[in-house]
Chain A
Amino acid sequence: MRWPDRLAGVIGALLLLAVLVPMGLMLWSLLEQGAGVISVDFLLDDPRQAGRAGGIAALLVSTGWILAVCLLVAVPMGLGCALYLSEQVPAGTRRAQWLGGTLDMLAAVPSIVYGLFGYQFFAISLGLGFSLLSGGLALALMVLPLMIRSAEQALRAVPLSYRQAGESLSISRWGWVRRILIPQAAPGIAVGIILSIGRALAETAVLLFTAGYVLRQPDSLLDSGRALSVHIYDLAMNVPGGMPRAAATGLVLVAILIVLNLSVRRLLRPAQGAWQ
């Protein structure tokens, strides 16, 4: 009965190749087109000639601000909601299921719907127009469910014995949360933050409608600013001669995502048991 196993082994290996080869080709073509453009200057210079020359400094700044707004809103709200869930809503109750379901729903909404909503609500109704603020807020909505879920998981994973110890010492709830629960859950919460950043960075459609197109270094949050992903799209699709820099920006974005990914693994390692 060895041959089914042998065959399966071979098929698996072939499948692996079928998956890895396109990925490799993809990264290779990015490198081919963009590697010649990447340098320290590329990261420090502002774009010139509508992005065909120069670097991406202004874009890194804009993207950074958009992320900052996104996290400033999503992390406190997400943590607060996760705390509510872990403290007030015991797992398995109806309320837990309903809230969990709502969150799953939010997490599964197609991102373009957040773009539409963000455009209608933040840009138009609230009058923020095309701005880093609109973009950041729309992204915050998008990553909030992810943030809540990750934080909730981390909080619930704190062992019961810690709670019991806190209770026996009559620490106030607030004190316990602040000094024991959150620090203990911190790695897991950090993972949630990093996952949210990753999701936000990869997003293009939402930002097209909210943060806009402007290439300049933004002076304030109400200024419009172009994010990295939007820049890749515009250079590749709208600007003649933009391909090399589009590929280079793509490489920068992938590099950032790799670093984020590695950080997640780093933070997860000590908490192996409670996580996977």
Chain B
Amino acid sequence: MITISSRFHADSLLTWLLRLTGAAAVLVLGGIIAVLLIQSAPFMLEHSLALWRNDWQPGQARYGMAAMIAGSIMVSVLALVIAGPAAVLLAAWLRYFAPLARRPVLALVELMAGIPSVVYGLWGMLVLVPRINQWAPPGASWLAASLVLALMILPLALLVTDTALGQLPGRYLQAGQALSLSRVGMLRRVLLPQAGPAIVSGLVLQFGRALGETMAVLMVAGNVVRWPTSLFDPVRTLTANIALEMAYATGDHRVALFASGLLLLLVTAVLLALSWRLRGERHEMA
């Protein structure tokens, strides 16, 4: 580390400037939470228990979010169940079975990762939902939302898994080959378990992302506030709810939406902590 010489004023100025901007990041997060808390505090105190009921009728001052919380979670869980294994398998396949295809496919996948969610949502609405509707009306449903979300989180999940596999020491592969294990065997017993924590932590982050997705879900999930009992039932997520009702909400209704935003933030924080735990280290830069 270069020591600071008191002869150079610029240096101490620089240090202070840097400290300031460093603090800025923490301030921003704190600010966001503070604003959300201040907005929702009186409301939360008044309605604290009622929030957990399944009874969302803002027109009649009933703010039970339970069904929407469930909707958010179920849609994201299914998306992860679809995309997670697919991403891991694909990454492994690309690396060990079709290494020639790896570069181009990864490039394509990076592209997919950048497509705006509105586009995914439009496609889902115009193509996927009518297809599902032919099978099992009404079409706009839990399944539709999860499929679109899965398509959206797959690219990053794939990239993370690929990175994790790439960071494994080469000697694992060599040892496996020396023992003449089949590639499948190697993956199953050595490579995947070793890369496991990093992969899972990446998947947890993608789950968080699925939880926070708004536009695409808004367009294909059906947006009916009720407990989804079947895959083909329509659901409403917390995020879609905020987007749908924010512009039209006044007074308590608006505050209820802020409260749901806070809830999302909290859940994200918990997921994040989980992902750190899994990786073992809290400050990983992968």
Contact = CB atoms under 8 A, between A and B. Distances in A.
Interface of A: 1-2, 4-5, 7-9, 11-13, 15-16, 18-20, 22-23, 25-26, 29-30, 76-77, 80-81, 83-85, 87-92, 96-97, 99-106, 108-117, 119-121, 141, 144-145, 148-149, 152-153, 156, 163, 166-167, 172-177, 198, 201-205, 208-209, 229, 232-233, 236-237, 246-247, 250, 253-254, 257-258, 260-261, 265, 276
B225 to A, nearest CB: 17
B154 A198 contact: no
B168 interface: no
A105 B269 contact: yes
B242 to A, nearest CB: 5
A23 B112 contact: yes
Given A110-B214, A144-B28, A261 B111 contact: yes
Interface of A is mostly: helix
B89 A12 contact: yes
Interface residues of B, number: 89
B25 A167 contact: no
A77 B28 CA distance: 11
B22 A99 contact: yes
Contacts of B268: 105, 108-110
B98 A110 contact: no
B283 A9 contact: no
Nearest to B18: A84
B21 A84 contact: yes
Contacts of B15: 88, 173
Pick the 10 closest A-B CB pairs, nearest first. Answer: A110-B212, A12-B93, A80-B21, A84-B22, A202-B116, A84-B18, A4-B184, A100-B283, A174-B10, A26-B123
A23 B155 CA distance: 11
B94 A172 contact: no
A116 B111 contact: no
A90 B208 CA distance: 29
A148 to B, nearest CB: 6
Given A16-B105, A205-B243, A113 B98 contact: no
Contact of A111 (B8, B107, B212, B285): B212
A208 B276 CA distance: 33
Given A110-B213, A172-B10, 14 more contacts: A4-B184, A4-B185, A7-B184, A12-B90, A16-B105, A25-B127, A77-B21, A101-B282, A108-B208, A108-B209, A110-B261, A112-B261, A153-B285, A276-B166
B100 interface: no
A198 B111 CA distance: 11
B209 A173 contact: no
Contact of A176 (B2, B211, B246): B2
Interface string B195-225: 0000000000100110111110001000000
